[in-house]
C-alpha cells in the first residue's frame, strides 16, 4: 500500500508506530534521516518544536454531529475544533505507514478541544479529520484517479467532502447487550474502539516484540473490543488467548456482531463514470492533495 492510499478502514487497524514515541525522539530521527541530504524542512520536527497545544485563539467551533451521535461519551460532552494551521497541514501531508497513528493523534491534540483525544472513538476520529479538512479549505475538493471497472477507462474524479457516506450509530445499538456464542454458549459484552485502545494494542506489541509468540494485530484489536466474558473483565492477553482458541463459528459470531454495529465513514464511495455512465466503487483515501490542494494561479 502506498502512503497516498490510506483508507478509513486502514486507520482502524493497528499498523502504526508506538504512540509513546515522544516528539523529541521523532526530531532526533528526522535529523538523522536528513543528515545526508542537507537542510530539510521536516514537519514532524517543526510541530514538535511548536510547543504545547495552545487553545487561546478563540477560533474553535462546535462539532454539531458525529457518527456516534455523542451517545457513547459522558452526558453533556461537547467537542470543538478549529481549522488546520500550516505546520499541521504539512505534518498531515507527510503521512506514511510508519507515522500514521502518531501524526493523526498529534494533530487532533492540537486542533480539538473539549475532550481528551485519547477518549475519542476511532469512528469519530476519522470524521473529525474530514471535518478539519472541510473547514480549512471550505471551497476546495481534490482530484483522484478513477479506473472504471465496467468500461476499463482511466479518468479523474473530483472528490468533494460532502459526497462522503457517513455511517451513523445504529438505533438499536446497546452498549451492554450480551452476545451468546453458538458453540460454547459463553456470554460476552463488547464495546466500540477508542484511540486509547489503539494505544493499548501498540504498547502491548512493543512490550512483546521479542516474544516467541507472534501476535495478530487484528485479533488483538478484537480482543480489546470484548468487554466482558461471562460477566468477568480479564486482561488483554487472556482475551487474546480466549479468541484464538475459540471454534471458528464462535469467533465469526463475535466478529460479525462487532462489524454489524460499525460506524464512521464508509471506506468506499460510488462514482459515476463519465465515459460509460456506470458506477463503480472508489476507495476514500488520504492523497497528498487532500491536505494541500493545488491552488489556481489565474
**87-141: pLDDT as tens digits:** 898 888 887 777 778 888 899 999 999 999 999 999 999 899 888 888 888 765 6
Indicate whether 116 belongs to any domain: yes
User: Whose grid coordinates read 466500540?
Assistant: 192
pLDDT recorded at residue 1:
42
Q: Are residues 114 and 36 in the same domain?
A: yes
What CA–CA distance (Å, rounded) separates 119 from 193? 10
pLDDT recorded at residue 283:
73
Q: Are residues 200 and 135 in the same domain?
A: no
Indicate whether 135 belongs to any domain: yes
pLDDT-wise least confident of 28-32, 70-74, 99-103, 269-273: 28-32
Average of per-residue pLDDT across 247-265? 94
pLDDT-wise least confident of 23-27, 68-72, 120-124, 133-137: 23-27
Q: Are residues 182 and 133 in the same domain?
A: no
Indicate whether 144 belongs to any domain: no
Q: Are residues 25 and 108 in the same domain?
A: yes
What CA–CA distance (Å, rounded) separates 70 from 124? 9
> Which of 81, 111, 139 is the last residue in one of the domains?
139
Indicate whether 219 belongs to any domain: yes
Average of per-residue pLDDT across 4-26? 39
pLDDT of 60 > 50? The answer is yes
pLDDT recorded at residue 288:
53
Q: For residue 213, what is the DSSP state?
A: S
pLDDT of 244 > 90? The answer is yes
Indicate whether 64 belongs to any domain: yes
Q: Are residues 105 and 216 in the same domain?
A: no
Q: Are residues 127 and 226 in the same domain?
A: no
pLDDT recorded at residue 108:
94
> Which of 108, 139, 170 is the last residue in one of the domains?
139
Q: Phi and psi dihedrals of 91, rounded to 5?
A: -65, -45
pLDDT recorded at residue 203:
86
User: Whose grid coordinates read 468506499?
Assistant: 268
pLDDT-wise least confident of 50-59, 120-129, 259-268: 50-59
pLDDT of 14 > 80? The answer is no
Q: For residue 54, what is the DSSP state?
A: -
Q: Are residues 26 and 121 in the same domain?
A: yes
Average of per-residue pLDDT across 268-273? 78
Q: Are residues 21 and 92 in the same domain?
A: yes
pLDDT band of 62, cuts 50, 70, 90: very high
What CA–CA distance (Å, rounded) separates 188 from 233? 10
Indicate whether 243 belongs to any domain: yes
Indicate whether 272 belongs to any domain: no
pLDDT recorded at residue 161:
65
Indicate whether 296 belongs to any domain: no
Number of domains in the chain: 2
Q: Are residues 135 and 8 in the same domain?
A: yes
Report the chain's mean pLDDT, rounded to a whole number. Answer: 77
pLDDT of 185 > 90? The answer is yes
pLDDT of 51 > 90? The answer is no
pLDDT of 76 > 60? The answer is yes
The rounded percent of the chain whose pLDDT value lies above 70 is 72
What are 196's three cell numbers? 486509547
Q: Are residues 20 and 134 in the same domain?
A: yes
Check: CB of residue 272 under 8 Å from CB of residue 259: no
| H-state helical runs in 81-162 | 86-93, 100-111, 122-136
What range does the domain containing 234 cover?
178-262
Q: Are residues 127 and 184 in the same domain?
A: no
Q: Are residues 49 and 126 in the same domain?
A: yes
pLDDT of 189 > 90? The answer is yes
CA distances from 231 to 172, 173, 194, 246 (A): 22, 19, 21, 18
Nearest to 87 by CA among 60, 106, 102: 106
Check: CB of residue 247 under 8 Å from CB of residue 184: yes
> Which of 118, 139, 160 is the last residue in one of the domains?
139
Amino acid at each position: 500500500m502506498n502512503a497516498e492510499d490510506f483508507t478509513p478502514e486502514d486507520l482502524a487497524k493497528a499498523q502504526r508506530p508506538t504512540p509513546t514515541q515522544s516528539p523529541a525522539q521523532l526530531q532526533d530521527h528526522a535529523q538523522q534521516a536528513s543528515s545526508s541530504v542537507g537542510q530539510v524542512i521536516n514537519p514532524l520536527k517543526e510541530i514538535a518544536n511548536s510547543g504545547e497545544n495552545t487553545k487561546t485563539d478563540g477560533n474553535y467551533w462546535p462539532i454539531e454531529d458525529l457518527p456516534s451521535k455523542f451517545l457513547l461519551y459522558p452526558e453533556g460532552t461537547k467537542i470543538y475544533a478549529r481549522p488546520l494551521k500550516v505546520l499541521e497541514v504539512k505534518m498531515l501531508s507527510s503521512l506514511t505507514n510508519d507515522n500514521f497513528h502518531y501524526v493523526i493523534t498529534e494533530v487532533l491534540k492540537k486542533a480539538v478541544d473539549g475532550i481528551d483525544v485519547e477518549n475519542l472513538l476511532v469512528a469519530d476520529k476519522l470524521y473529525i479529520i474530514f471535518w478539519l479538512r472541510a473547514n480549512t479549505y471550505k471551497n476546495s475538493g481534490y482530484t483522484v484517479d478513477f479506473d472504471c471497472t465496467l468500461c476499463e477507462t482511466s479518468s479523474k474524479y473530483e472528490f468533494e467532502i460532502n459526497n462522503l457516506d457517513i455511517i451513523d450509530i445504529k438505533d438499536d445499538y446497546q452498549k451492554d447487550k450480551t452476545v451468546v456464542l453458538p458453540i460454547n454458549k459463553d456470554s460476552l459484552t463488547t464495546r466500540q474502539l477508542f484511540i486509547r485502545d489503539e494505544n493499548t494494542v501498540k504498547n502491548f506489541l512493543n512490550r512483546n516484540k521479542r516474544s516467541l509468540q507472534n501476535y495478530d494485530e487484528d485479533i488483538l484489536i478484537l480482543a480489546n473490543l470484548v468487554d466482558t466474558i461471562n460477566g468477568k473483565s480479564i486482561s488483554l492477553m487472556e482475551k487474546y488467548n480466549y479468541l484464538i482458541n475459540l471454534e471458528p463459528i464462535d469467533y465469526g459470531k463475535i466478529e460479525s456482531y462487532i462489524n454489524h454495529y460499525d460506524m464512521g465513514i464508509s471506506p468506499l464511495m460510488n462514482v459515476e463514470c463519465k465515459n460509460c455512465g456506470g458506477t463503480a466503487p472508489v476507495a476514500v483515501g488520504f492523497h497528498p492533495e487532500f491536505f494541500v490542494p493545488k491552488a489556481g494561479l489565474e
